[in-house]
Structure 1
């Protein structure tokens, strides 16, 4: 009985230590998510406005720009996967990897070869473990993304897109990331970045009616300036969305872990009390039995 009590005490102490760690990580994630949400709120209107501006120029001009023109034959498609550098976030990374691989299978069924660009150590580790090919990878800037990383990613993708599949590049670019919906929901999302598609759908009541434009300087020059801004802003917004979603997923996972630790502590405390009661009962029975034996021997 004494050994059993020691085991239960050790398990209770272990669960209490685990609860302290998970509770601290939950509080850290809660503090970080507020900053991440603020950055998403600040970035999203700008990304949407740039997209509308680029769509308006592309729609109301006859310029055949390489970044807005649909290729006659799409042979290779870039799939950019946004994961995190750290784990302990529930299904955050696994669901985005599953979404990306499903997109890759869809592209293969359409006769396109998917090539992968990875963001975050979890995606890199997944591809390394399964010995899957990738073109480029970026790690170390997923918790608090910086715009210079988005610029570097955008320049790499644009360079591959301009080269085209005939010269080892790609013919279209897809972004796969977790979109922050709420503290409890993070939704995996696939977006085609290039060639440029028409602006996101809007409600009929609030949809913007674009006027007829006159471009000064030429529409080609306007697109040359706007398109890099569009690409960098969309990639940066995806990184911010993924960062906010990751912190929310971490907070939810750590809260669940803390609740499970509480349950373990309660269960082991009950078992310890039962074992202690059984030990006390056994000791009383031994004392009574000894007393009876002494009295009967007189």
Structure 2
């Protein structure tokens, strides 16, 4: 082998080895992040289940139904989809599953002559849906790494205002439910 080609080959080998080291470092960082995220999810499960049970009990108990949030609309003319994704990629089907499900539901609504609006939560939903020309409401970005109550409250208040004002007749949350690190499920609720 000529000296020039050998040098080029060694350079390529070094480049591949450097890429391998970088990839390994990214893998280790991702593994530590997923452990932290799993701990946060598991810590929130009892709270989420309890609050869902309380709301179900209140709705089942009847009582005064003066709240515009507890009633159902006679006809649904416009649907609001809250598409919840991450701010970054490299997370497998986490974002793409939500976006595919939202797109499929929007197509069903359009065939049924219902209008729609999407509230994108996360940069991935915002960028994807904006690029494809979907009808978007105010986007909510920048807090998927460390979500907190005030972020959720801001989104909730915006969506409740849309529903209470009569601007939309139905609200559908589209998100990914964590089952395990190897399994997630897209939920429309």
What 5-or-longer segments of structure 2 have no aligned partner? none
What 5-or-longer segments of structure 1 have no aligned partner? 192-298
CA contact (8 A) 1:121 1:139 kept: yes
What are the residue-to-residue correspondences of 1:1-298 with 2, within 5 Å? 1-2=1-2, 3-64=4-65, 65-164=67-166, 169-191=167-189
Q: TM-score of the superposition, structure 1-length normalised? A: 0.59
Which one has more relative contact order, counting CA pairs under 8 Å at least 6 apart?
A: 1
What is the Cα deviation at residue 137 of structure 1? 0.4
What is the Cα deviation at residue 67 of structure 1? 0.8
Please identify the structure whose Cα radius of gyration is greater.
1
Question: Structure 1 segments of 4 or more deviating over 6 A?
Answer: none
CA contact (8 A) 2:77 2:169 kept: yes
Residue 111 and residue 88 in structure 1: after superposition, are their counterparts in 2 closer, same or farther (change >3 A)? same
What is the Cα deviation at residue 151 of structure 1? 0.6
Q: TM-score of the superposition, structure 2-length normalised? A: 0.90
Q: Which has the higher strand share?
A: 2
Q: Secondary structure at the match of 1:178?
A: strand
What is the Cα deviation at residue 30 of structure 1? 1.5
CA deviation map 1:149-202 (0-9, x unaligned)? 1010000001111001xxxx21111111121111111222211xxxxxxxxxxx
What is the Cα deviation at residue 109 of structure 1? 3.1
What is the Cα deviation at residue 114 of structure 1? 1.8
CA deviation map 1:228-249 (0-9, x unaligned)? xxxxxxxxxxxxxxxxxxxxxx
Counterparts of 2:156 and 2:38, CA distance in 1 = 23
Residue 48 and residue 28 in structure 1: after superposition, are their counterparts in 2 closer, same or farther (change >3 A)? same
What is the Cα deviation at residue 58 of structure 1? 1.4
Counterparts of 2:13 and 2:121, CA distance in 1 = 39
What is the Cα deviation at residue 105 of structure 1? 1.4
What is the aligned residue count? 187
Residue 63 and residue 122 in structure 1: after superposition, are their counterparts in 2 closer, same or farther (change >3 A)? same
Partner residue in 2 for 1:274? none
CA deviation map 1:264-294 (0-9, x unaligned)? xxxxxxxxxxxxxxxxxxxxxxxxxxxxxxx
CA deviation map 1:41-92 (0-9, x unaligned)? 2212212211211211211224223111110111111111111111222333
CA contact (8 A) 2:130 2:136 kept: no
Q: Secondary structure at the match of 2:139?
A: strand
What is the Cα deviation at residue 8 of structure 1? 2.8
